[in-house]
Structure 1
Amino acid sequence: MTKETASTEAGWNFDNSYARLPELFFSSQGPTPVRAPKLIILNESLASSLGLNTQALRSEDGVSAFAGNRIPEGASPLAQAYAGHQFGHFNMLGDGRALLLGEQITPEGERVDIQLKGSGRTPYSRGGDGRAALGPMLREYIISEAMHALGIATTRSLAVVTTGESVIRETDLPGAILTRVAASHLRVGTFQYAANWGTAEELRALADYAIKRHYPDIENSENRYLSLLQEVIRRQAELISKWQLVGFIHGVMNTDNMTISGETIDYGPCAFMDTYDPETVFSSIDIQGRYAYGNQPYIGGWNLARFAEALLPLLHDDEKQAIELAQNELSTFSKLYYHNWLAGMRAKLGISNAEEQDEALIEDLLRMMRNYRADYTNTFRALTFDKPEDTPMNGTPEFAQWHEQWQARLGRQKESKAAAQQLMRSSNPAVIPRNHRVEEALEAAVNDGDYSVMHRLLEVLSKPYEHSPEQDEYCTLPAESNRPYRTYCGT
């Protein structure tokens, strides 16, 4: 079977619109071949939706493409340039260990990026080896697929291959490459890069490209760049509210990790919260708690302000008026976020209409959950099935009073009790990627070559709102530990 035949059979249907942007935004280069690629996992349902042939992807040629040993027909590999505020400090960045193969045009005519992560050094590697270890790549696969199943906008994972080579971090680790699928890899940091190192024409070209790719409905707006800012604010307000509603902590909300499309991207030191506490931080490098769970909405607003700064030359010829336009739009973010979050919290409690007292009802519950160190996911699961005895607050006068107020609130809406419970079932996941379960799966895979633990976990996580008895064991909490759970970037 020839390479061209294999490519055709795989179903690759590449276009490369990003490569038609000014050369400032990328460096063309191919991936660095690896010694002995082996397919570890293939996302067959995602592959099919992309118009790809799973049998061909599993072939030797298919695996070679995932490893970067063979370039699929029509691909035009490149490393993207961008900048970013990392923990508040501005840096020149770029794809230091990733390459965009190109954009797959799906059978429905949608355009998605196909990126290899861990594919070798690029001009933006800054001293790094351009490689990735197996554990972090499997972590991204697990968490991103769980986020997709939870109904949260996210990049997705198509495949993970091992390379047959080691990468050196604190120790020798098995190397791997992840194939990531994204609406695009345009970031706030891409615009910061254009604003700092590009011309006004190059910044405009990037903005026009983002509009055409993600927001074509605003192309004919009176001020389409202001409309672009509005749309990105709107999508990020929705995205971050959904993170908060399921207890997801991104861990590294740098501006280079905020997409223009509104997808969650870069699953480095991310994790899901067990015990409810707004100050929860898992990332080993977030010493000051900048990206703690409770700070995520504020950081979202801060990142959007950096996006607005980059757009200022396009918003108005007069800088003062451009700043005023930007500030007016930025002021809407917190309101949009809170509106989305409040609506989501009402749904988690089975409330289908709005009353002024709802905010106090919700805040009182969260305060008790924090005081009694209640598990975030399991508390809402217990309320869904009216099992208050499954919460640590049960038996206390304040919780009894709250429960009575909540039941009275449900009684004041026209929807039935059954309808309220159905709303809660569809708003409160039974399962999340519990940190100890993720670690269990990664340890079995990396240390023992046993991928069955991960496959079982992925199957359970694919139906988070099913609330089936088979999920019960994945709802249990980890054993008490004196050591806080820590996550690492994996870079």
Structure 2
Amino acid sequence: MTGKTSLESLTFDNVWSRFPDDFFTRVTPTVWRDTRLLDVSPTAAMRLGLEAETIDRGRLTELMSGERLLPGMDPLAQKYTGHQFGTYNPSLGDGRGLLLGEAVTPWGPVDLHLKGAGQTPYSRFGDGRAVLRSSIREYLAGEAMAGLKIPTTLALAVAVNGEKVMRERVEPGATLLRLAESHVRFGHFEWLYQQRRVEDLERLVRHVIDRHRPDLAQSEAPIEAMFQDVVTRTAELIARWQAYGFVHAVMNTDNMSILGLTLDYGPYAFMDRFESNLTPNHTDATGRYAFDQQPGVALWNLTVLGQSLTPLVAVERLREILDSYEPTLQAAYAILMRARLGLETEREEDAQLIEDWLTLLERSRADFHRSFRALSDQDVIGGLSLGDEIQDAGLEGWLERYRERVSVESRSDTERLAAMRRVNPLYVLRTHLAQHVIEAAQEGDAEPLVTFRELLSSPFEARPGMQAWSEAPPRNAPPVCLSCSS
């Protein structure tokens, strides 16, 4: 800890406000009446060098209502563009969120970004508000991803207010205080490239290197090194999404972080039963952003980013760097999946064993996460039963191959299964459980939100009395399908 105990003790170095004027628009947050704080994340508080218990809830509520900023904050809406479902949109920017300020911490800068802060010049006829449903979902998503060690933005807190917001129906208004090392997106570079602003493009690249990746400045070709860093981090991020059954559902280039963070949670979903082509966004009629399309989409997005850097880097060199994406992703994915199956060493047959496991899950309509956990629980009294989870005649044949494979490992079965339980979560951010939390919060009860957040932040260890939070939806439940509305 740094010795800081309050929000007021934070200091800010708002670099973004020193960029050219058209990089942003200064906007004062809208004041929302009757704002009530629902929860504060200890995980996110630590990112600021604070403790959740010492944060003044009244002061935080003032901040999240738009009533009073912290000293040193300079709120602004960032301008960027991007490709949305494959089509370039020049009119993008922060339409309902504001970068309040860039806090200085011992671990580097942290953006404080208020979502649901009101209209901006980039709202595109939107109202600039956020609803409780989507705010809780994003709040929990950050906790779940951090618990699974998947790079992500976090939210310090979520609050409901007295506004009524029209989406598909009338919903309670809310605000979310999001934290990220940076909110720079692929779309920032696309905007400058499309505007043919080469000097500003280089300035933005240098900003990312100097402020967030200073070690790259020592490279013989720092801009090439930065692009390689983005490609590598994005490949490793997608590998983690695929290994843990996460579907982002709106992988537009403006939703892609230059630092390889999971950014902008909308109609996302974690798998329940395994469906390789799961598409939880009902506006994605073609399945462009389906689960099995994510690796290819990320490469497409990186190619767009690479094109944006062509004024600064030779095309052939950019292509060489892009060629590293696929092997990086495959290597990272293999390591993660072997760990989930309890395999320490690498053998040629592992790829087929993993593929056949997923085929078995999909064919039997088994739950993705509970199947992995049941495979890990084979020495746990009262643990999940693999036979209950996977009801398929092919299970025993696969298990026979699996037992033969693990027999050549040096670890004992006890050590292997314990290691598997450290990477196979019991508590997962399932859509039906999130909906239970949302409905309770809408009725004024934040206790389920706090409970679920605590479980998701430490998802691997079973806790007494919490079995309901590990349950899958009924096998006959309809597929998850959500909207982008916030």
| TM-score, reference length from structure 2 | 0.94
Residue of structure 2 in register with 1:95 after alignment: 94
- Could you list the per-position Cα deviations for residues 41-90 of structure 1 after superposition, in whole angstroms to 9, with x for gaps in the alignment? 22245324413475774354432112222121101111001111111111
- Could you list the per-position Cα deviations for residues 341-393 of structure 1 after superposition, in whole angstroms to 9, with x for gaps in the alignment? 01111111110011101111111111111111111101111111224323324
Residues 374 and 111 of structure 1: CA distance in aligned 2, closer, same or farther (over 3 Å): same
SS in 2 for 1:159: strand
Q: Which amino acid aligns with 2:247?
A: I
Shift of 1:293: 0.7
Query: Which of 401, 407, 415 is the equivalent residue of 1:405?
Result: 401
Matched, 1:347 2:342: no
Question: 325-334 vs 29-38, which deviates more?
Answer: 29-38
Verify the 8 A CA contact 1:162 1:176 in the aligned structure 2: yes
- Could you list the per-position Cα deviations for residues 106-127 of structure 1 after superposition, in whole angstroms to 9, with x for gaps in the alignment? 2x25211000001011111111
Matched, 1:452 2:447: yes
Q: Which amino acid aligns with 2:263?
A: I
The alignment yields a C-alpha RMSD, in angstroms, of 1.8
Give me the whole-angstrom Cα distance separating, in 1, the residues matched to 2:167 and 2:344.
50
- Could you list the per-position Cα deviations for residues 315-339 of structure 1 after superposition, in whole angstroms to 9, with x for gaps in the alignment? 1xxxxxx221111111111111011
Shift of 1:142: 1.1
Give me the whole-angstrom Cα distance separating, in 1, the residues matched to 2:57 and 2:345.
53
Verify the 8 A CA contact 1:81 1:94 in the aligned structure 2: yes
Residue of structure 2 in register with 1:440 after alignment: 436
Shift of 1:490: 2.5
- What pairs with 1:242-321 in structure 2 (closer than 5 Å)? 242-315=240-313
Verify the 8 A CA contact 1:10 1:54 in the aligned structure 2: no
Give me the whole-angstrom Cα distance separating, in 2, the residues matched to 1:158 and 1:62.
10
Question: 16-25 vs 89-98, which deviates more?
Answer: 16-25
Give me the whole-angstrom Cα distance separating, in 2, the residues matched to 1:53 and 1:439.
28
Q: Which amino acid aligns with 2:430?
A: R
SS in 2 for 1:412: coil
Residue of structure 1 in register with 2:83 after alignment: 85
Q: Which amino acid aligns with 1:336?
A: T
Shift of 1:166: 1.6
Shift of 1:418: 2.2
Residue of structure 2 in register with 1:323 after alignment: 315
Verify the 8 A CA contact 1:115 1:179 in the aligned structure 2: yes
Residue of structure 1 in register with 2:40 after alignment: 42
Give me the whole-angstrom Cα distance separating, in 1, the residues matched to 2:185 and 2:310.
16
Residue of structure 1 in register with 2:458 after alignment: 463
Give me the whole-angstrom Cα distance separating, in 1, the residues matched to 2:16 and 2:402.
52
Give me the whole-angstrom Cα distance separating, in 2, the residues matched to 1:94 and 1:385.
47
Residue of structure 2 in register with 1:372 after alignment: 364
Gaps in structure 1 of 5+ consecutive residues:
1-6, 316-321
Give me the whole-angstrom Cα distance separating, in 1, the residues matched to 2:132 and 2:365.
34
Matched, 1:105 2:101: no
Q: Which amino acid aligns with 1:489?
A: C
- What pairs with 1:121-270 in structure 2 (closer than 5 Å)? 121-197=119-195, 199-270=197-268
Percent of counterpart pairs with the same letter?
Answer: 39
Query: Which of 16, 19, 24 is the equivalent residue of 2:22?
Result: 24
Residue of structure 1 in register with 2:474 after alignment: 479
Q: Which amino acid aligns with 2:139?
A: Y
Give me the whole-angstrom Cα distance separating, in 2, the residues matched to 1:323 and 1:67.
47
Query: Which of 374, 377, 382 is the equivalent residue of 1:382?
Result: 374
SS in 2 for 1:313: coil
Give me the whole-angstrom Cα distance separating, in 2, the residues matched to 1:59 and 1:420.
44
| TM-score, reference length from structure 1 | 0.93
Residues 204 and 8 of structure 1: CA distance in aligned 2, closer, same or farther (over 3 Å): same
SS in 1 for 2:218: coil
Give me the whole-angstrom Cα distance separating, in 1, the residues matched to 2:423 and 2:472.
20
SS in 1 for 2:309: helix
SS in 2 for 1:113: strand
Give me the whole-angstrom Cα distance separating, in 1, the residues matched to 2:308 and 2:270.
32
Gaps in structure 2 of 5+ consecutive residues:
379-384
Matched, 1:332 2:324: yes
Give me the whole-angstrom Cα distance separating, in 1, the residues matched to 2:123 and 2:201.
24
- Could you list the per-position Cα deviations for residues 191-244 of structure 1 after superposition, in whole angstroms to 9, with x for gaps in the alignment? 111111251100000000011122111112121111111000111111111111
Give me the whole-angstrom Cα distance separating, in 2, the residues matched to 1:198 and 1:100.
26
Question: 59-68 vs 120-129, which deviates more?
Answer: 59-68
Residues 289 and 176 of structure 1: CA distance in aligned 2, closer, same or farther (over 3 Å): same
Give me the whole-angstrom Cα distance separating, in 2, the residues matched to 1:9 and 1:138.
22
SS in 1 for 2:259: coil
- Could you list the per-position Cα deviations for residues 157-193 of structure 1 after superposition, in whole angstroms to 9, with x for gaps in the alignment? 1112223222222332211111000011011111111
Give me the whole-angstrom Cα distance separating, in 2, the residues matched to 1:486 and 1:58.
38
Shift of 1:454: 1.7
Give me the whole-angstrom Cα distance separating, in 1, the residues matched to 2:359 and 2:52.
49
Shift of 1:474: 2.0
Residues 184 and 354 of structure 1: CA distance in aligned 2, closer, same or farther (over 3 Å): same
Verify the 8 A CA contact 1:21 1:205 in the aligned structure 2: no
Residue of structure 2 in register with 1:319 after alignment: none
Q: Which amino acid aligns with 1:326?
A: L
Residues 485 and 341 of structure 1: CA distance in aligned 2, closer, same or farther (over 3 Å): same
Equivalent residue pairs, number: 475
Q: Which amino acid aligns with 2:207?
A: Y
Give me the whole-angstrom Cα distance separating, in 1, the residues matched to 2:107 and 2:340.
35
SS in 1 for 2:176: strand
Residues 55 and 456 of structure 1: CA distance in aligned 2, closer, same or farther (over 3 Å): closer
Shift of 1:457: 1.6
Question: 468-477 vs 415-424, which deviates more?
Answer: 468-477
Q: Which amino acid aligns with 1:280?
A: L
Q: Which amino acid aligns with 2:104?
A: I
Shift of 1:32: 1.6
Verify the 8 A CA contact 2:269 2:480 in the aligned structure 1: no
Verify the 8 A CA contact 1:271 1:435 in the aligned structure 2: yes
